[in-house]
Amino acid sequence: MSLKEKIMIKMGLITPFRYKADDVVIARNVSLQGRENMYIGAKTYIGENNVIYAGKAPLTIGRYVMTGPNVTIITGDHRIDLLGEYMRNVTNEMKLENNDQPVVIEDDVWIGAGAIILKGVTIGRGSVISAGAVVRKDVPPYTIFYSHENTRPRFTLQQIEEHERLLQEKYPDDFAG
């Protein structure tokens, strides 16, 4: 999301969830809950059967993001520490503050099939999340994430500089403002 878009959302000039206007593609059978708390950037592709819930904490998905089929992104948990109550009966009203935490998926991230992204996570620009991965903590930019125990750089620092330079050259509008 560009700075201009963020400011416009804050000022109430545009609504956060603008997938049609922004050329976002939502594939078949996608479940989006909490749209009022969901920000999806231009040119993003949300894959088939994705389950995407933004509860009390917002979900921000950047531009040129691509999610494979069956990806799950959820910004909240239920309380699991209550004695004498069935999990089924633990309601959203009983939540603690940290049960909901924002998720940010920066521009140009590819999330592989079946990956699960949990609350409080930021996935850095240009990263790749491998199929079936569970992401519980932040992922730095330009990382290939297999698991928290196994990540690799997608590019060298020199390659990142070159990649960014070429992107700016090719898509100058995306870097304006």
Ligand X SMILES: CC(C)(COP(=O)(O)OP(=O)(O)OC[C@H]1O[C@@H](n2cnc3c(N)ncnc32)[C@H](O)[C@@H]1OP(=O)(O)O)[C@@H](O)C(=O)NCCC(=O)NCCS
Contacts with ligand X by CB under 6 A lie at 47, 68, 112-113, 128, 130-133, 144, 146
Contact by Cβ (8 Å): 136, 116: no
| Closest listed residue to residue 133, CA positions, set 102, 159, 109 | 109
Taking the least distance from each CB to ligand X, the nearer of 8 and 131 is 131
Name the active-site residue from 6, 78, 136, 165: 78
Taking the least distance from each CB to ligand X, the nearer of 48 and 174 is 48
* Residue whose CB is nearest to ligand X in the complex, by number: 112
For the bound state, the minimum distance from the C-beta of residue 63 to ligand X, rounded and expressed in Å, comes to: 17
Token readout for 146 is: 């297999």
For the bound state, the minimum distance from the C-beta of residue 77 to ligand X, rounded and expressed in Å, comes to: 24
148 an active-site residue? Answer: no
For the bound state, the minimum distance from the C-beta of residue 68 to ligand X, rounded and expressed in Å, comes to: 3
| Closest listed residue to residue 77, CA positions, set 101, 49, 51 | 101
Taking the least distance from each CB to ligand X, the nearer of 68 and 141 is 68
For the sheet with 122-123, list strands across it.
Answer: 38-40, 59-61, 103-105, 122-123
Task: Return the H-helix or E-strand segment holding 103.
Answer: strand 103-105
Distance CA(120)–CA(58), nearest Å, equals 10
Q: Which residue has the tokens 């850095």?
A: 124
For the bound state, the minimum distance from the C-beta of residue 143 to ligand X, rounded and expressed in Å, comes to: 11
Distance CA(177)–CA(4), nearest Å, equals 7
Taking the least distance from each CB to ligand X, the nearer of 30 and 113 is 113
Among positive and negative, which fits the CA dihedral 41, 42, 45, 46? positive
Q: Catalytic residues, which ones? A: 78
